[in-house]
Homo-oligomer: A and B are copies of this chain.
Amino acid sequence: MEHLHQSFTVQYNYNIFFTSSLFLPENELLSRFLVNLNPSVTVKKILFVIDEGVANAHKDLNTQIKTYFAKYSQTQLIQDILVIPGGEQVKNDTQYFDQVLEAINLHGIDRHSFVAAIGGGALLDMVGYAATVAHRGIKHIRIPSTVLSQNDSGVGVKNGINYFNKKNFLGTFSPPVAVFNDEVFLSTLSDRDWRSGIAEAIKVALIKDREFFEWLEVNAIALANRDPAAMNYQIWRCAKLHIEHIRSADPFENGSARPLDFGHWSAHKLEYLTNFEVRHGEAVAMGIALDTVYSNLSGRISAEDAQRVIFLIQQLGFELTHPLLQVIEGNSPILQGLEEFREHLGGELTITLLTGLGSGEEVHEIDADILKQAAAILNNQAAIIQH
**Inter-subunit contact B173/A105 (CB<8 Å):** no
The stretch among A246-254, A263-271, A283-291, A298-306 that forms the contact with chain B is A246-254
| Bitwise interface map of A from 12 to 35 toward B, beta carbon under 8 Å scored 1, else 0 | 111111110000000001000000
A95 to chain B, nearest CB (A): 14
| Bitwise interface map of A from 146 to 172 toward B, beta carbon under 8 Å scored 1, else 0 | 000000000100101001101011111
**Inter-subunit contact B255/A175 (CB<8 Å):** no
Q: Which residues of B contact A41 (CB under 8 A)?
A: 346-347
**Inter-subunit contact A251/B10 (CB<8 Å):** yes
Q: Which residues of B contact A251 (CB under 8 A)?
A: 8, 10
Mark out the residues of chain A between 218 and 246 whose CB falls within 8 Å of any chain B CB in the assembled complex: 236, 239-240, 243, 246
Closest residue of chain B to A110 (Cβ to Cβ) is: B346
Q: Which residues of B contact A4 (CB under 8 A)?
A: 15-16, 18, 155, 236, 239-240, 243
* Interface residue? A292 (CB, 8 A): no
Mark out the residues of chain A between 77 and 120 whose CB falls within 8 Å of any chain B CB in the assembled complex: 101-102, 105, 108, 110-113
Q: How many A residues face the partner with a CB closer than 8 A?
A: 70
Q: Which residues of B contact A59 (CB under 8 A)?
A: none
**Inter-subunit contact B136/A172 (CB<8 Å):** yes
Which of B14, B18, B105, B175 contacts A166 (CB under 8 A)? Answer: B105
The answer to whether A38 and B133 touch (CB under 8 A), given A7-B12, A15-B5, is no
* Interface residue? A256 (CB, 8 A): yes
**Inter-subunit contact B10/A6 (CB<8 Å):** no
* Interface residue? A2 (CB, 8 A): yes
* Interface residue? A382 (CB, 8 A): no
**Inter-subunit contact A6/B246 (CB<8 Å):** yes
**Inter-subunit contact A110/B1 (CB<8 Å):** no
- Give the complex CA separation of A19 and B132 in angstroms: 35
A284 to chain B, nearest CB (A): 20
* Interface residue? A135 (CB, 8 A): yes
A195 to chain B, nearest CB (A): 23
- Give the complex CA separation of A16 and B5 in angstroms: 6
- Give the complex CA separation of A10 and B8 in angstroms: 8
Interface centre among A18, A168, A170, A175 (most CB of B within 10 A): A170
Q: Which residues of B contact A360 (CB under 8 A)?
A: none
| Bitwise interface map of A from 109 to 147 toward B, beta carbon under 8 Å scored 1, else 0 | 011110000000000000001001111110000000000
**Inter-subunit contact B17/A1 (CB<8 Å):** yes
Q: Can you report 21 residue pairs joining A to B where beta carbons are below 8 Å apart?
A: A2-B236, A4-B18, A4-B240, A5-B14, A6-B13, A6-B14, A9-B9, A10-B10, A10-B12, A41-B346, A41-B347, A101-B169, A108-B343, A110-B344, A112-B346, A112-B347, A132-B172, A134-B169, A135-B169, A136-B172, A172-B172
Beyond the given pairs A5-B13, A101-B169, A135-B171, 13 more chain A to chain B contacts, judged by CB atoms under 8 angstroms and listed by A's residue number, are A1-B29, A3-B17, A4-B16, A5-B14, A6-B14, A8-B251, A10-B10, A38-B256, A42-B348, A105-B166, A112-B346, A133-B170, A133-B171
